[in-house]
Amino acid sequence: MQALQGSTFNPRSVSLVELGLNDGDSEERLDLAANSAAMGLTRCPILPVRDPAPIVACDASSVKIGETDSGMIFAIRAVAVWRQPDKILFTRWGPLLFHVANSDDESNNKWRDEESRIFGGLSVKTLRVLTRLRNHVERWVQEVLAGSVKGGVLLIDGSLTAGTPDNPAGRVNKILATARSNNSIVVALSKSTELTVGGKNILGFSDDGHVPHLIDITPIVEGEYPAYPIRFLGRVYVAKLAADGFLFRVDIDREASEEQAQSALGRVAGTDVIFHGYPETLRIAHIFSTFTANEILAIQRFVASNHHITLQARPSLRRSLFGPFGTSRYVA
């Protein structure tokens, strides 16, 4: 960031109607038409348990702040939320600012425009650096929580699937092991997933029951995916944590027994307030980590005033040519 002194800066445009901004999150449509019974899956009820044991959640968000002559500026923020018997505590780290420089390789640059259109104005390289940075910060918070929470449930946003360069299996394994050594259990919740069974998204399983339940789909998922390089470090479930809630993909540390997994989900269902079937601590962590448009403007102001960077909004060719028809959710 220090190297940017005196350069120009094209700030990200922030629309009045664009309230919540989080470049790191993408949702997908769910198909609820599939029939799970036909695949021989069994449904186990979740028995909500009121328990004073700590429930802790964490989440992290990243957002593009703007473009410089030599790259892009991003902000990352991570949040940890503790549910205690009488109150909820949070710690928020950030925003932390990063300047990701463009590749020096000219041959990469000529494809940049094409790639940018696909990945929210970010080149593949920039996107990977950003993803890695965000994952790094998020995993760091998870490590801190795994090491400090005793006998509790650690809720994280996402899954326990690892084994990619951006998400190395060794680090996730270490978090799971640390939590285990503190008698805690790691539960990962996904609002959306790309996991499919028989060509159908796992969250499209039949939802005709009115009681909290979970379906273990680990054998099916593992059967459909090769063992390498992607590794499932947790047991994969489709779970409904409240009678009136939605279905979520839930990954629970594979070293934990079936009973421990059910007990952990029972504690979450019974202790954490369930909003549409989603744990309240994780919801708060998400809300507190997400960047608002106001915060993006504030960061832009900070960058401009503290690094003496001139704000210089470049006209968007796409918007100029197509007006309101030229924007999509992929265009930053």
Partner 1 sequence: MRIYRKEGDEIQLIAFPDEHIQKGDYLLIEDPSLAKGLLVQTIDLQYANVPGVLEDILRDVMTDGELAGQDIDPLNISSEVDALKDTRLAVCKIRGTITEDGGLSPSTSWIPSRTSSRIRAYPINRLIMNGGKRPLMVGHNDGEAVHIDASGLDGGLNIITGRKGTGKSHLAKLMLLSMSSFGAPCIVLDVNGEYVNLDKSKDGRPSASRLLVLAPRRGLNFALAKLGLRTTAGVLSNALDLPATSSKVFSTIWRDLEARGDLTLPSLIQTVQSWSCHDSVREALISRLQVLLESGLFSDESNPLTEEKILHAIEGGGILVVNLKNQSHTVRRILVEIFLGELTKILSSNWLKAAFLFAEEAHLYLRETYWDDIVTRMRHIGLFTTFITNQPDTVQEAIYRQADNVFIFNFINEHDIETIGKVAKSDSGTIRCLVRGIPTRRCLLLGNVVRDLPMMVDVEPLDVRTMGETRLFFS
Site for partner 1, rule CB under 8 A = 14-16, 18-21, 81, 86-97, 284, 287-288, 292-299, 301-302, 306
Nearer to partner 1 among residue 94 and residue 158 (C-beta):
94
In the bound complex, what is the minimum distance in angstroms from residue 291's beta carbon to partner 1? 9
Provide, rounded to whole angstroms, the least separation between the CB of residue 273 and partner 1: 11
Cβ proximity to partner 1: between 145 and 299 the closer is 299
Structure tokens at 155: 């809720």
CB of 16 to partner 1, least distance (A): 5
Query: Which residue number, 141 or 215, has a Cβ lying nearer to partner 1?
Result: 141
- Minimum CB distance to partner 1 smaller for 187 or for 284: 284
Shortest Å, Cβ 112 to partner 1: 28
Shortest Å distance, C-beta 63 to partner 1: 12
The residues that bridge with 266 in the sheet, in sequence order, are none
CB of 141 vs partner 1, minimal distance in Å: 11
AA identity, residue 133: L
- Least gap, CB of 266 to partner 1 (angstroms): 23
Give the bridge partners for 201, in sequence order.
196
Structural contact between residues 182 and 208, judged by C-beta atoms closer than 8 angstroms: no
Which CB, 85 or 223, lies closer to partner 1?
85
Q: Which residues contact 283 (CB under 8 A, 6 or more apart)?
A: 275
Give every CB contact of residue 289 below 8 A, 6+ residues apart in sequence: 59, 60, 61, 77, 78, 79, 92
Which tokens hold the place of 126? 């920039």
Closest CA to 76 of 91, 97, 101, 59: 97
**Cβ atoms of residues 72 and 122 within 8 Å:** yes
CB 300 → partner 1: shortest distance, Å?
A: 9
End-to-end CA distance of the chain: 21
Can you tell me the distance from the alpha carbon of 39 to that of 12, in angstroms, rounded to the nearest whole number? 47
Quick one: 30 or 287, whose CB is closer to partner 1? Answer: 287
274 strand-pairing partners: 279
Provide the minimum distance between the beta carbon of 296 and partner 1 in the complex, in angstroms, as a whole number. 8
Helical (H) or strand (E) element with 10: strand 8-11
| Closer residue to partner 1, CB minimum distance, 35 or 305 | 305
> Cβ(64)–Cβ(120) under 8 Å?
yes
Measured from the CB atom, the residue of 73 and 202 that comes closer to partner 1 is: 73
* Cβ proximity to partner 1, 91 vs 218, nearer residue: 91
Q: Which residue has the tokens 């326990």?
A: 160
DSSP for 97-161, written as a single string: EEEEEPPS-HHHHTTHHHHHHHTTT--HHHHHHHHHHHHHHHHHHHHHHHHH--S-EEEEES-SE
Between CA 66 and CA 270 the distance in angstroms is 43
d(CA 93, CA 265): 28
